[in-house]
Structure 1
Amino acid sequence: MAKEVTLHINDDYSKQMREGYPLIHKEAVKEQELPEEGSMVRLLDMKNRFIANGYIGVQNKGVGWVLTHRQDPFDLAALFQSKMLAAMNKRQGFFQSPDTNAFRVFNGEGDGIGGLTIDYYAGYYLINWYSEGIYAYKQFVIDVLDTLGDYDAIYEKKRFRKHGEYVEDDDFIKGERGEFPIIVKENGMHYAVYLNDGAMTGIFLDQRDVRKAIRDTYAEGKRVLNTFSYTGAFSIAAALGGAEKTTSVDLAKRSKSKTVEQFSVNGVDFEQHEIVVMDVFDYFKYARRKQLQYDLVILDPPSFARSKKRTFRTAKDYPTLLQDAISITSNHGIIVASTNNASFGMKKFKGFIKQACNKMHVNFNILEQYQLPADFQTNKQFIQSNYLKVCIVEIQKK
């Protein structure tokens, strides 16, 4: 780790950073030349008054994160330990749950250290590093997990580019290597998880509450379409909730075998359900041509996706996606509309829903809405940290 460097923050940013805004924007920094990644930085305003201490770690729109507003000298290892232990204490209910053993134990800036997340999967920790800068503090994080003990192994994902490429080293750090998949529990449902197979694990933990709602409230007796289905996690929830049939659609070829696996670990006969490898937009055309109608349609697209035929951007194209979904949703059917795009808020997202319903000349009623679950702690001063937006929408055709 490099020595501490002083940086000056422009007046446009200094006030909000004093109030708790955690991201250090490049345009906020007066100095043209930034110190190397991992450097500790002392942030001062343009009158040399103290604002905060942080570190340099280039990530998305920022060049670093605030760590503390303490002005007096502090022990960095102790600061990591304090923040991590406080975060884990907040998750004691999850650690003690008999029905759920996969959850987030540390959520970046929401828990006080931007650029770092840690997930727990049935005895295994998975650390996500989002910049070279935070990776410089790896040993501090490992040391805290070691003080807690009682884990099978620690794995990691380096989600940053080095020399223009993502780092794809061995994901294993220490402990006893897992035999994958490991089977985790979520509200009594089971999911096969891989911590050693690329960037994804097989399940997005932030959708836990939504999957439970689908199983408990919306699936029984329904014909369900799960688009952008990935490994079929929503389809599992629907099937276990008594759906008449689920159809899972994803462009990735491996989605079929992964979805079959998820059905199998839950004791569900996958042959009673449909798994389609196809571009979702082509599937909408197919469904309209065949006059298929669904009672429950799940839309959880990536923020950005590109296929040979088209490019999809949530911020621009979500209303059109909703129109396609409405066209094959039965009267009084339900659409689970979801996005993880952090660039806009719930108000704008609801505007997309209204826009699509107006275009399709249907009425709608938002029955429920969800954002991040309790283990995904957010920073109220940094609205982008509460990125998940889910609306459960009833469609009423005229």
Structure 2
Amino acid sequence: MAQEFTVKLRYPHVNKYKKGYPLILKDAIDRPELLKQEGAVIKVLDDQGNFVGRGFAGKQNKGLGWIVTHQESDQLDASFFDQKIQHALEKRHAFFLDEDTDAFRIFNGEGDGIGGLTIDYFAGYYVINFYSEGIYAFQSWVIDAIKRMTDYKAIYQKKRFGKQGTYIEEDEFVAGERGEFPIIVKENGIRLAVYLNEGAMVGVFLDQREVRKTLRDQYAEGCSVLNTFSYTGAFSIFASAGGASHTTSVDLANRSYAKTIENFSMNALDFEAQDIIVEDVFKYFKYAKRKEKSFDIVVLDPPSFARSKKHMFRAEKDYPSLLKQTIDITEDQGMIIASTNCSKFNMNKFKQFVKQAFQQSGCPYRIEKEFSLPSDFPTLPHFKEGNYLKVLFIRKG
């Protein structure tokens, strides 16, 4: 086992950590300098010297490490990682039996007991995401557990850390037989192309699975749909499969064009009957308003932070103004699917953003559905920022 360091919680923070808050914050402990050694085992005591938890040092976002157990007898060894990963796999048993879906998350960080680590499953291929050098120090135990516990075609890894959180690109193949890309996965019967060899973004965001299904099954039929920040067009594919009269996909990235065509084609949907536009979304909103374009459904799922040549967007600051522009090009009685993965505010704050935007637009509205993370993305009740996804189906008028 790695060397273990002991830190004490500062008094104002004790109750929060005893209730299960997992992220070790600099201001919460007495000797934060001990967490500079990435991967070091950390024993956390309360201000009276009583055991609170054990974890590891791993700088991630605003945290210096993670508490992963509140049992003093637990040690951070191979068997500990085995136990956590085995339990996570057992919880996903029903997903493995689903004939219509073979892409989902099998380990969701602190929600499954180990912060900074996620594992996704794509039709027999496993992708491990390490979000700090600290958790990467335990890489061999994670990989060995997957090898022993699963029938894998291949294992890939992504290092989601580096200077200022930048992605570290290396050969990502770990074990098995290298895939021939794209890998074709199924999500609720829809075929999607996945590339495990092209960096951190593999082609589909698994946390939006239930939202896409709802769009297809309950809202899309006969509607014109605008999909902004469309990435590989998954929302457009589901809308078209649900009977949408027309879809428009807009994304700034050049690769979005070919990948959206690819996804339409794999589902025998006519991509030539759709609009697939490589454009700054912020610029497109102005164009659509100037040309008096409007849509029955608008999917608004911007990244938490986005920068183009003329625009910079921060969800916690700029979402209301972007939503107001969306309202302007949505038909009366139309639907806005407003989504954010920003962890800096909760669902209540997000609803306040919605209220603010509609009040400024002078339009009535009602929220018909709301979504957070699906069941394969478990979270902790005392770590609210871990439940980052917020999606609202908003009826205009």
TM-score by length of 2: 0.98
2:371 maps to 370
> 1:26: Cα distance to partner?
1.2
Bigger drift between 173-182 and 26-35 goes to: 26-35
For residues 393 and 98 of structure 2, the distance between their equivalents in structure 1, rounded to whole angstroms, comes to 27
User: How do 1:182-261 and structure 2 match up within 5 A?
Assistant: 182-261=183-262
Return the letter of the residue paired with 1:379. Answer: L
Return the letter of the residue paired with 1:185. Answer: K
Asked if 1:78 corresponds to 2:79, the answer is: yes
Bigger drift between 45-54 and 351-360 goes to: 45-54
For residues 12 and 34 of structure 2, the distance between their equivalents in structure 1, rounded to whole angstroms, comes to 19
> 1:87: Cα distance to partner?
0.9
Bigger drift between 187-196 and 1-10 goes to: 1-10
1:284 maps to 285
> 1:75: Cα distance to partner?
5.8
Partner SS for 2:364: strand
CA 260–211 in structure 1, closer or farther in 2 if over 3 Å, else same:
same
Return the letter of the residue paired with 2:297. Answer: L
Partner SS for 2:215: helix
Percent of pairs with identical residues: 56
Return the letter of the residue paired with 1:338. Answer: S
User: How do 1:357-396 and structure 2 match up within 5 A?
Assistant: 357-396=358-397
Partner SS for 1:247: strand
2:17 maps to 17
Return the letter of the residue paired with 1:138. Answer: Q
Is there any run of 5+ residues in structure 2 with no aligned partner, and where? none
Computed over aligned residues only, the root mean square deviation of the Cα atoms, in angstroms, reads 1.2
2:114 maps to 113
Q: State whether residues 5 and 34 of structure 2, in contact with CA within 8 Å, keep that contact through their aligned partners in structure 1.
A: no
CA 14–141 in structure 1, closer or farther in 2 if over 3 Å, else same:
same
Asked if 1:34 corresponds to 2:34, the answer is: yes
For residues 74 and 100 of structure 2, the distance between their equivalents in structure 1, rounded to whole angstroms, comes to 43
For residues 342 and 187 of structure 2, the distance between their equivalents in structure 1, rounded to whole angstroms, comes to 24
Q: State whether residues 58 and 64 of structure 2, in contact with CA within 8 Å, keep that contact through their aligned partners in structure 1.
A: yes
1:8 maps to 8
User: How do 1:267-346 and structure 2 match up within 5 A?
Assistant: 267-346=268-347
For residues 281 and 116 of structure 1, the distance between their equivalents in structure 2, rounded to whole angstroms, comes to 33
> 1:163: Cα distance to partner?
9.3
1:136 maps to 137
For residues 12 and 111 of structure 2, the distance between their equivalents in structure 1, rounded to whole angstroms, comes to 23
CA 26–300 in structure 1, closer or farther in 2 if over 3 Å, else same:
same
For residues 385 and 379 of structure 2, the distance between their equivalents in structure 1, rounded to whole angstroms, comes to 9
2:99 maps to 98
> 1:32: Cα distance to partner?
4.5
CA 311–230 in structure 1, closer or farther in 2 if over 3 Å, else same:
same
Bigger drift between 281-290 and 266-275 goes to: 281-290
Partner SS for 1:355: helix
> 1:164: Cα distance to partner?
7.9
1:123 maps to 124
For residues 167 and 189 of structure 2, the distance between their equivalents in structure 1, rounded to whole angstroms, comes to 35
> 1:162: Cα distance to partner?
5.4
Partner SS for 2:203: coil
For residues 255 and 295 of structure 1, the distance between their equivalents in structure 2, rounded to whole angstroms, comes to 23
Is there any run of 5+ residues in structure 1 with no aligned partner, and where? none
Alignment length, in residue pairs?
A: 396
1:31-74 CA distances to partner (integer Å, 9 max, x unpaired)? 15224100001111222111111100000010000111111353
Q: State whether residues 74 and 80 of structure 2, in contact with CA within 8 Å, keep that contact through their aligned partners in structure 1.
A: no
CA 287–162 in structure 1, closer or farther in 2 if over 3 Å, else same:
closer
CA 162–341 in structure 1, closer or farther in 2 if over 3 Å, else same:
closer
Partner SS for 1:173: strand
For residues 2 and 81 of structure 2, the distance between their equivalents in structure 1, rounded to whole angstroms, comes to 17
For residues 81 and 196 of structure 2, the distance between their equivalents in structure 1, rounded to whole angstroms, comes to 24
Asked if 1:145 corresponds to 2:146, the answer is: yes
Partner SS for 2:33: coil
Q: State whether residues 41 and 76 of structure 2, in contact with CA within 8 Å, keep that contact through their aligned partners in structure 1.
A: no
For residues 100 and 331 of structure 2, the distance between their equivalents in structure 1, rounded to whole angstroms, comes to 34
Return the letter of the residue paired with 2:152. Answer: Y
Partner SS for 2:256: helix
For residues 75 and 267 of structure 1, the distance between their equivalents in structure 2, rounded to whole angstroms, comes to 49
> 1:288: Cα distance to partner?
1.3
Partner SS for 1:12: helix
User: How do 1:52-67 and structure 2 match up within 5 A?
Assistant: 52-67=53-68
For residues 385 and 165 of structure 2, the distance between their equivalents in structure 1, rounded to whole angstroms, comes to 25
For residues 96 and 74 of structure 2, the distance between their equivalents in structure 1, rounded to whole angstroms, comes to 34
For residues 74 and 158 of structure 2, the distance between their equivalents in structure 1, rounded to whole angstroms, comes to 32
> 1:159: Cα distance to partner?
0.2
For residues 322 and 198 of structure 1, the distance between their equivalents in structure 2, rounded to whole angstroms, comes to 30
1:62-92 CA distances to partner (integer Å, 9 max, x unpaired)? 0000111111353621111111111111101
For residues 328 and 114 of structure 2, the distance between their equivalents in structure 1, rounded to whole angstroms, comes to 44
1:224-260 CA distances to partner (integer Å, 9 max, x unpaired)? 0000101101000000000000000011111111111
Partner SS for 1:33: helix
Q: State whether residues 160 and 166 of structure 2, in contact with CA within 8 Å, keep that contact through their aligned partners in structure 1.
A: no
Q: State whether residues 366 and 395 of structure 2, in contact with CA within 8 Å, keep that contact through their aligned partners in structure 1.
A: yes
For residues 323 and 278 of structure 2, the distance between their equivalents in structure 1, rounded to whole angstroms, comes to 20
> 1:146: Cα distance to partner?
1.4
